[in-house]
Each structure stands twice: as structure tokens, then as C-alpha cells.
Chains A and B, each alone.
Chain A
């Protein structure tokens, strides 16, 4: 029982965060052109182009601790736009000890997100509670709050536009975001957004003491098969622990994913 619980809980936190990290990929992937915009309008562009469409991706997720030890997981991700939000399925492809694990999320008509985890060793699905998403994702440097907030900048943050900057080779808008919730673990978020395609290329997270906590960097920006620009290399670096998490996008497809993928039936196979 102890072992089961250990397995379940570890997979829960891992898989849940995995799905959310991939949401991040999509969030940061899409952009649209604009000229002079306010901070809120820039956020709206991010918000309006996030979580759009259906498709699939294969990614490699690598965690690297301060001692340089690496762990790698390969995952398949499927997403489907629905009238109530989105359905998402995350499937672990490797390594062996997690392969076959699947995580399904469904946005229902009440606005609730239903989540199920399937572990091959358990042989049945398990409902997952929202609180299980508050841990780090698979020991990575992503947390639910970070991922969730990236998807909800316009609603969860007050935005202020700072002076534009040249960041590496990109002309960027620079935004300072202040969380509206006093419960947020961050006092501020600073974001560099590539003007041409509205892709955030750097995001800095500052803790409640105003100290830089984490840095998200998006690189290898290029259009996918559908012409949408997205980062194929995403790095989240923890400034406190020295650890970092790297997400490599190996393959993407904009082909619609069949409805069957987002059912308990597919989960059980």
C-alpha cells in the first residue's frame, strides 16, 4: 500500500505538472502582429492566442540538478479544443519505470477541470484533485502556479509596460506584471515579448522579497508546420537551487486528435 501510494502520488505530481508544462509550450507558441500596444493589449494578444486549436507533440523533458545530474523523460502530448475549454492527454513514452502512464484532463461545462491518472501497475484510473497540482512537476523547476499564471496573465496580473529593449536578436516589448492575488508566491514577473510574433522569449520571476527566483528562456524559435511560431527549446532555471529544466520539442503536428484520445477508454488501453 505504501508503495502504491508512493507511486501514485509521485506520478500524480509528475504527470499533472507535465501536462501543464506542455500547456506552457502552447501558450508561448502563438502570436500575432501589432504595432503600438498597451501592456494590457500585449497581454491580451498572448491570452488570445494561447490554448488554441488541436494537435499533438512529442517532447523530451530534462531536469538537471545543481550537481549536473540529468534525468530525461519522453512524452507525447495531445490536445483538443472544446466548447468548454480543452481536453488534454499526456502519455509517458520513456523511461521504462514510467512508460505507459497517462494523464487526462477534461474541461467540463461547469468550468471545472476533471483529471484522471492511469498507472499501468495499478491497472485502473485514479481521480486527481486540484491540490495535487501544487507541487513541482516531476522534480522540475516548473510549478503549477507558474504555469497557471503564464496562461492567465491578463486576469491574474496587473500589467505595466516598460521601455522596449533589444533582447538578443529580438526587438521586444518589456512588461512588468504584478500579481493581483496576495497569495501568489511572486511579487513581480518581468517579461520580454518578441514583437514580431508575440512570443515571450524571457520571463523573470521575483519572490515575495523581491529577489530573482527563476528565469524562463525560450529559444530555437521557428514556425511549425502550420506556420505558428513557437519555441523548440525551453529552459526554466532556478536561481536559488542552481537546477534547471529543459524542454525540447521533438515533433509537432497540427492534425486534429480523435475524440477517443480524451476518454477513460483510451486511458485504460
Chain B
């Protein structure tokens, strides 16, 4: 059976276009086309190199259909000017149907759950990369779209129940690089012995690749409460080190995708004039016997992720927000640990401030601190809205971390000066 993942994204566009053509009255509705194009330059003042020089474009088409529903198709393009291949992808591409008490969405889609800013442990349907300086700077919070059916039933009392079935498994990007870095470290510790990284076997396409999730949401005492459950595949493959003594010895990092249960609880409300939110998840990965051994790079243990946050806007217009992030599974930057070591839960503090001194001028700052080792990533940005459609940005990010701290390795990649321009249409 052919993997759904191998079907070109354009196929989904063609299918949706066919659906659209079959819908009576659809052509009479006016399509809305929106988008933006921009250029981003990042210079690494630690490395002395241009870290990024890219053109990007986003385009979306939306059309109301003859029935109560709509069609949405999005496109993303990225053209690196300092090396690398240009990329043009179909983003979300789906059809909505709205009925009396249920809403349906079918197609490639991103399903964002959760209540926190930037890090949402209960949003587990789409694959997401680990938190990175690039993500911090760009706000790349949406996961990779997946082919899914989403149905929501709205209760007369005001709450809703949502069910999601995901037809394809899309792994998170970046696992190869992370494991290669671990392999390099292991190799150095073994006196230069080559350590290969085996790629995981694909998830079977016999139906067992299907993931599903449910969520209920209600208003409880003026707080939105969301309870969710996900059954699917871990976005990152489990990994372990295999070492075979001999002449010469053989070492490799083996990997395998495994299933996972994810339980989630999120709330959002206000206390006084402040916004307040919490998010909690508990992940239970499938146990692999090999991960009980001394070479485990992933863990068999379940772990908790939690976020508690609040925001407040002062009368002078300064907005501040703070979040405490706890990751029982280890680092936010990497879902793996050193071979054989125990996972070290990490706690982070995230602070954000924003101020607009004048119309069209915006200042913002962000601080992410590892409460365990004291490492800090700080970033600031100024945005000038030259016209209503044209924005200029200038930014600076800086890492402060002692050798051995979690963020220390990011200095060369995250100590950046950035500039950009964006045109929306």
C-alpha cells in the first residue's frame, strides 16, 4: 500500500478543486486571496557569518461554498539566498462543512490546542519541532499540516466535543540532526570510533498509522476548561545506543517509532484585570525493553509537561506576560538525553514585554531562562509599520549561558542581529 505521506501535496489541491467544482453555487461566491511576502536577514555576530538570508511568501485562498461551508488552500514558499534549495509547499488545504450542531473540517490542516503562549503541551496532533532560537524569532508555532478529519459537536449548554482522526503519521523534523550530534559526542568519548545513526523503520501504512484524539471544552466558573486525549505516534523516534565489543568494536544509534498516550488539561480565564492560563499534559510512551538498558537515549517513563502563565497590560500601554514552563521529559530544545543517563526535568521562565510608543512603532522583548542552570536567551525587536502594508523589523538575540549549561551550545546559532521587511496584500 502506498503511504499517504508519499502523495504529493498538489494532489490534495486537485482533490479539493474537484470537490469545489462539484459544489453547486460555489463558483458564484467570490474567492478571497490574501498573502504576504518578505525578506529576512540574520547575521551571527558570534560566528561572523550570515545565518539566514531568505525570501518567503505565504498565500491563502478562501472561498465560501454553495452549502454552509468554505474552502481554504494555503501555499508557503521559501527561497534561501545564501545556499540551499528553494521550497514551495501546499500548507493547509481543507473543506469545512457546517451543520446544525456539528462542524466538520476535512483535508490537510493544523489543529492548535492549548491556552499558553508559544509552548503548548496539549497541542499534540501536528508534529512540532523542538523549541529553537529560530522558532523564538519567527514565531513558527504551527505544526506541519496533516491529513485529518475533524468533527466538533456543539452542546446546547455551550461546550463542545471534538474528535480528530489523522490519516497519516508525519514525524517531527530535526531528529536526524539531534541524533547525529549525540553520535558525534559518543564517538568522541570512544576515541573516535564511528557511530552511525540508523533511521527508523517507517510507521506501517496498514491502518495502524492512524492517530486519533478527542477534546471537550466547557466554561466552568468563567474559565475555559479543555480536557483532551491523544492516541498516536511519538513525533520523535525512540533511540538507544548499541555497542558491540570486538575488534574493532561497533557502535550505532538505533531508532524506532513508538506509540504514545497523551492526556491533556488546559484552562484560561481572568483574575482581576490579568489573564491567567494553565496547561498540563501527561505523556505515556510505549515501553521498549531496550530502553531499560544502559544505552537508552529515550526514556520508557511517562512524563509531565506544564505551563502556568499570566499577562497584564498597564495603563501606559506596556504589556507584560510571564510563564513558568516545566518539562518532566527533559530539555525543551532536545527530546533526547545522554546515553544511559536519567532524564533531567527542566524548569523555564519565559517573560515577554511589549510597548508601542507611537502609532506604527512597536517594541518587544522576550527572555527565556533555564531556572536550573541559569542560562538565558534574550531577544528584542523593533517593528516600524512604514505603511499599512509594509513593515520593517530589526532585532537582536543574545545567549547568556555558562559552559555546560543547556543554552551554551546555542551561542553560535542564536547570537544574531536580524533585519527584515514584510509586505502584506
Q: Which A residues lie at the B interface, using CB under 8 A? A: 1-10, 13, 63, 65, 69, 71-72, 95-97, 99, 108, 110, 112, 114, 121-136, 139, 185, 243, 263-265, 268-269
Contact = CB atoms under 8 A, between A and B. Distances in A.
A135 B268 contact: no
A97 B424 contact: yes
B117 A8 contact: yes
Given A97-B424, A136-B317, 19 more contacts: A1-B141, A1-B352, A9-B311, A13-B319, A63-B359, A65-B358, A71-B385, A72-B388, A96-B425, A99-B34, A112-B222, A127-B269, A127-B275, A127-B277, A129-B276, A131-B274, A131-B311, A135-B356, A269-B103
A128 B321 contact: no
Interface centre among A2, A69, A122, A134 (most CB of B within 10 A): A2
Interface in B2-28: none
Given A1-B119, A6-B354, A129-B270, A269 B362 contact: no
A62 B350 CA distance: 36
Contacts of B96: 269
Contact of B117 (A5, A123, A128, A129): A5
Nearest to A140: B359
Contacts of B321: 5
A268 B217 CA distance: 13
Nearest to B389: A95
Contacts of A124: 112-114
For the residues of A in contact with B, the DSSP-based class is mixed
B135 interface: yes
Nearest to B385: A71
Contacts of A128: 270, 275
A2 B118 CA distance: 8
Given A135-B317, A264-B160, A5 B270 contact: no
Contacts of B137: 2-3
B180 to A, nearest CB: 26
Interface in B319-341: 319, 321
8 contacts: A2-B379, A3-B138, A4-B141, A72-B388, A129-B311, A131-B273, A134-B317, A135-B319
B293 interface: no
B99 to A, nearest CB: 11
A127 B34 contact: no
Given A135-B313, A139-B356, A97 B389 contact: yes
A262 B96 CA distance: 19
A4 B117 contact: yes
B242 to A, nearest CB: 37
Interface in B24-55: 32, 34-36
A99 B154 CA distance: 25
Given A96-B425, A265-B160, A127 B314 contact: no
Contacts of B141: 1, 4, 122
A215 B146 CA distance: 52
A112 B112 CA distance: 27
A221 B224 CA distance: 42
Contact of A2 (B131, B154, B217, B381): B381
B121 to A, nearest CB: 14
B360 interface: yes
B148 interface: no
Contact of A131 (B160, B313, B388): B313
B223 to A, nearest CB: 8
Contacts of A3: 137-139
A2 B315 contact: no
Contacts of A243: 359
A34 to B, nearest CB: 36
Contacts of A133: 313
A6 B364 contact: yes
Contacts of B152: 265, 268
Given A112-B222, A123-B142, A129-B270, A269 B36 contact: no
